[in-house]
């Protein structure tokens, strides 16, 4: 995979913007759900679904597709939006998020939608699932790669570290973990709730290749995934430093927006009735809120 051209970069930036717009619209319609994390991961998911992953929306069960496991299932709005924009289902269906009988539940259910590889809900289990899948793929001599998106907060869960140890022991070079290092969780800053650093050194101690990137620099992220493919003796973790709420400056970095949708979040900076349109304007037009 070669470096991104300027045209490819502009296309990915457009996809990331469109994904953010859809996230805001679907959460405002649902009146519940997580906003900060999905906005923060929009650049990464745009790069994944429009440049990095081998996949086919017209053939979701293609056997040689790359697999993406979403461990931090609460950020599923960004996954749903990316899948919809990639052509797995209609963008209009995104507005059914969290509604009764919708295929787009508050945490993904594998059999509900094309393009989903796992059911996720309890934090901390996704990396172990992905590691087991990658191990089975190596046993079967398969060529596809397994990706796993994780949050930093779920690294407080013991099961996560069991998966990390397992993948390191079996040298799962077909596994790439993408950690959303946004430094927040529902109760505040990760380093206040349960300090996680030094995360990079911890992964290295368990026999992982570690790459650290700016999670909003898609050139860096694409290059990191290319590098991961070249590592033959161990799994790779890409620690992506992101800003929660990215694209809406007034909420960026504010942990209070971890689990609040537009129209039901903190009203100290933007009145409730103005939040949806103000946030959309910030993303669509770059207008300050």
85-136 pLDDT per residue, tens: 999 999 999 999 999 999 999 999 999 999 999 999 788 899 999 999 999 9
Look at residue 69 and give its three-state secondary structure.
strand
Question: Average model confidence (pLDDT) for the chain?
Answer: 95
CATH number at residue 152: 3.40.50.970
Distance CA 165, CA 143 (A): 23
State yes or no: pLDDT of 237 exceeds 60: yes
Within a domain: 140: yes
What domain range includes position 10?
6-285
pLDDT of residue 121: 79
Sign of the CA dihedral with 240 first, then 181, 51, and 129 last: positive
- Our count of domains for the chain comes to 1
State yes or no: pLDDT of 287 exceeds 90: no
- State the pLDDT confidence band at 200, using cuts at 50, 70 and 90: very high
Within a domain: 1: no
State yes or no: pLDDT of 224 exceeds 60: yes
Which residues share a beta bridge with 212? 239
- State the pLDDT confidence band at 288, using cuts at 50, 70 and 90: low
State yes or no: pLDDT of 162 exceeds 90: yes
277 token code pair: 């349109």
pLDDT digits (tens, 9 = 90+) for 51-97: 999 999 999 999 999 999 999 999 999 999 999 999 999 999 999 99
Within a domain: 153: yes
Report CA Rg, the chain. 18
pLDDT of residue 122: 83
């Amino acid at each position: 995979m070669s470096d991104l051209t300027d045209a490819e970069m502009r296309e990915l930036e457009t996809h990331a913007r469109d994904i953010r717009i859809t996230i805001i619209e679907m959460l405002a319609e649902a009146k519940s759900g997580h906003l900060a994390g999905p906005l923060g991961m929009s650049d990464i998911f745009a790069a994944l679904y429009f440049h990095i992953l081998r996949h086919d929306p017209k053939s979701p069960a293609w056997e040689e597709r790359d697999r993406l496991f979403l461990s931090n299932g609460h950020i599923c709005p960004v996954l749903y939006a990316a899948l919809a924009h990639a052509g797995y289902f209609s963008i209009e269906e995104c507005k059914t998020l969290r509604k009764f009988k919708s295929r787009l539940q508050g945490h993904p259910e594998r059999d509900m939608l094309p393009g989903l590889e796992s059911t996720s809900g309890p934090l901390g289990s996704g990396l172990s699932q992905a590691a087991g899948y990658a191990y089975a793929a190596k046993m079967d001599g398969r060529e596809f790669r397994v990706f796993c998106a994780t949050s930093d907060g779920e690294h407080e869960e013991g099961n996560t570290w069991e998966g990390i140890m397992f993948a390191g022991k079996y040298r799962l070079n077909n596994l790439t973990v993408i950690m959303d290092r946004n430094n927040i969780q529902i109760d505040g800053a990760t380093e206040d709730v349960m300090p996680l650093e030094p995360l990079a050194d911890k992964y290295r101690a368990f026999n992982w290749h570690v790459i650290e990137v700016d999670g909003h620099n898609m050139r860096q992220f694409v290059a990191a995934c290319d590098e991961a493919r070249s590592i033959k003796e161990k799994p790779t973790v890409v620690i992506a430093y992101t800003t929660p709420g990215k694209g809406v400056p007034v909420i960026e970095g504010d942990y209070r927006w971890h689990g609040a949708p537009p129209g039901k979040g903190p009203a100290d900076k933007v009145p409730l009735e103005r939040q949806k349109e103000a946030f959309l304007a910030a993303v669509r037009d770059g207008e300050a809120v």
